[in-house]
Chains A and B, each alone.
Chain A
């Protein structure tokens, strides 16, 4: 019986203890972790675009890049990465008359909503369908907006898995 009494005391402690953390001394309510969606969503306009010769870069040859900002209306390029109220990605829309290397509208999602722990660039996948099953293009984020509101997206062209040329769009928030 004495053993049973001890057992009840123990059980009571186990049941009651967890509630100790639920008193008014808590310093805040639950906040969802900050994702990259919060940083990259919105309407962005191009400030500069360069074409990178990835073969030259890999072989330490020059030139490795050329600026195309003033060519072919690249300067008109805008991209609107929309999110829902929960900061979840919905559709995207590209504005302007720059060469359309990828579809001008569709749906988007990050491959991983947080910074990659291995330091590699975050990836935006573009889809043609809302269900996000048909991928149409991949953009990597080569510069993440922070206090400096600059987003850099890179569109790479690959042959048999090896990138040979890429286009780097330097963007800043579009003035609405």
Chain B
């Protein structure tokens, strides 16, 4: 009987040994709702903040979370059961955590090492080994910067679909900027970001004002090598616009220090990045009426689909020895200028062409062309 008791105890002990005290398998609590970085585009030796929205995961609000990364290196190796402080994330609010770091420093790797790695791979976890997230890859910009450089574009905005209250980065290839009449670029220069929302709408402008040290600092672009520059911001904060402001576009150009040179889009135009969902504006259409006219006639100039921020248009007609100037009237959809050639030119000798120059009120040239006239000798 006593033997039986020992056997039972031994058996129970054996069974007890087989049953683990607790499960060593760590609970997987799900993937983050969203992961993003600020800046959106960042260099590997530059400080960046990674954001993790853990809404919908099994983590609890405000709990301590730690980075458990293994690529490009494993900084907290061996401490899965008790994460180190350096790996700790900062709780932001509403299930959002962030980690600010400089990749080269955090991972103890060179830029080249990181570039050669497969990227930033990690899980988030609690202090201990109880809960971990699904595998997370934090976006990096190596591909973006390279693709941008190779595209030959002067400017690109990241993300492509940018929103007023979310971070964005604007990359500039200074070599591709237009300066004056040609694409001579601003390589090697110190360049600034002169910009406004909604075609420089009042109250939504940040000027590259060289007389204001704060603005000089705020609008300066960061060179990230190879004549690529960038600027990062959240539009609502950067432009200081209110909650009800609806962003339609960001318009900008790139002056150098003290506006000695100005980098623009092709042909001296400002860059305009349209916010997602904003229809692409119709191209302006210029025409004149009638098709054929003489110096004795009424000429009407018409420009449709004018730029939204257009302050108005001014024409200058050079006809023989006379110069006629005036303003267009109308609205953005259609502006017209009625010109009484008869009054100005009826006493002039026969004129077989006029030169027409149209400028906007900011001084930008819209059109310059010759228009033939029916010579007086042909009239009957």
Interface residues of A (CB under 8 A from B): 51-56, 61, 63, 66, 68, 71-72, 99, 101, 157-161, 164-165, 167
Contacts of B300 in A (CB 8 A): 51, 66
> How long is the Cα–Cα vector from A114 to B320 in the complex, in angstroms?
45
> How long is the Cα–Cα vector from A164 to B374 in the complex, in angstroms?
9
B294 interfacial by beta-carbon distance below 8 Å: yes
A sample of 6 more A-B contacts (CB under 8 A), given A68-B298, A159-B374, is A51-B297, A52-B290, A72-B338, A99-B342, A99-B343, A165-B294
| Cβ A160 vs Cβ B296 within 8 A | no
> How long is the Cα–Cα vector from A158 to B292 in the complex, in angstroms?
10
| Cβ B290 vs Cβ A55 within 8 A | yes
B70 interfacial by beta-carbon distance below 8 Å: no
| Cβ A72 vs Cβ B343 within 8 A | yes
B340 interfacial by beta-carbon distance below 8 Å: yes
> How long is the Cα–Cα vector from A8 to B374 in the complex, in angstroms?
77
Residue contacts A-B, CB under 8 angstroms, 17 given: A53-B289, A55-B290, A55-B292, A56-B290, A63-B289, A68-B338, A72-B338, A99-B340, A99-B342, A157-B297, A157-B374, A158-B380, A159-B380, A160-B378, A164-B290, A164-B291, A165-B297
| Cβ A159 vs Cβ B378 within 8 A | yes
Contacts of A52 in B (CB 8 A): 290
| Cβ A164 vs Cβ B340 within 8 A | no
Report B265-296 CB contacts with A as 1/0, cut-off 8 Å.
00000000000000000000000011111101
A161 CB → nearest B CB, Å: 7
| Cβ B374 vs Cβ A55 within 8 A | no
| Cβ B338 vs Cβ A71 within 8 A | yes
B16 interfacial by beta-carbon distance below 8 Å: no
Contacts of A157 in B (CB 8 A): 293-294, 296-297, 374, 379
| Cβ A51 vs Cβ B298 within 8 A | yes
Of chain A, the residue at the smallest CB distance from B343 is A99
Of chain A, the residue at the smallest CB distance from B375 is A159
Report B296-322 CB contacts with A as 1/0, cut-off 8 Å.
111010000000000000000000000
B295 CB → nearest A CB, Å: 11
> How long is the Cα–Cα vector from A55 to B372 in the complex, in angstroms?
15
Interface residues of B (CB under 8 A from A): 289-294, 296-298, 300, 338, 340, 342-343, 374, 378-380
Contacts of A164 in B (CB 8 A): 290-293, 374
- Among A56, A72, A160, the residue within 8 A (CB) of B340 is A72
| Cβ A71 vs Cβ B298 within 8 A | yes
Contacts of B340 in A (CB 8 A): 71-72, 99
| Cβ A53 vs Cβ B296 within 8 A | no
Contacts of B380 in A (CB 8 A): 158-161
Contacts of A158 in B (CB 8 A): 379-380
Given A71-B298, A159-B379, verify A165-B338 contact (CB < 8 Å).
Answer: no
Contacts of B378 in A (CB 8 A): 159-160
Contacts of A66 in B (CB 8 A): 289-290, 300
Contacts of B296 in A (CB 8 A): 101, 157
Contacts of B374 in A (CB 8 A): 157, 159, 164
10 closest A-B pairs by beta carbon, nearest first, are A53-B290, A164-B292, A159-B378, A71-B338, A159-B374, A55-B291, A165-B290, A99-B342, A72-B340, A66-B289
Of chain B, the residue at the smallest CB distance from A68 is B298
A62 CB → nearest B CB, Å: 10
| Cβ A165 vs Cβ B293 within 8 A | yes
Of chain A, the residue at the smallest CB distance from B342 is A99
B323 CB → nearest A CB, Å: 19
> How long is the Cα–Cα vector from A157 to B373 in the complex, in angstroms?
13
> How long is the Cα–Cα vector from A68 to B379 in the complex, in angstroms?
22
> How long is the Cα–Cα vector from A161 to B290 in the complex, in angstroms?
18
Residue among A53, A54, A99, A160 facing the most chain B CB atoms (10 A cut-off): A99
Of chain A, the residue at the smallest CB distance from B291 is A55
> How long is the Cα–Cα vector from A68 to B289 in the complex, in angstroms?
12
Contacts of B289 in A (CB 8 A): 51, 53, 63, 66
Contacts of A51 in B (CB 8 A): 289-290, 297-298, 300
> How long is the Cα–Cα vector from A71 to B289 in the complex, in angstroms?
14
> How long is the Cα–Cα vector from A102 to B289 in the complex, in angstroms?
21
> How long is the Cα–Cα vector from A158 to B297 in the complex, in angstroms?
12
Contacts of A72 in B (CB 8 A): 298, 338, 340, 343
B260 CB → nearest A CB, Å: 46
> How long is the Cα–Cα vector from A167 to B297 in the complex, in angstroms?
10
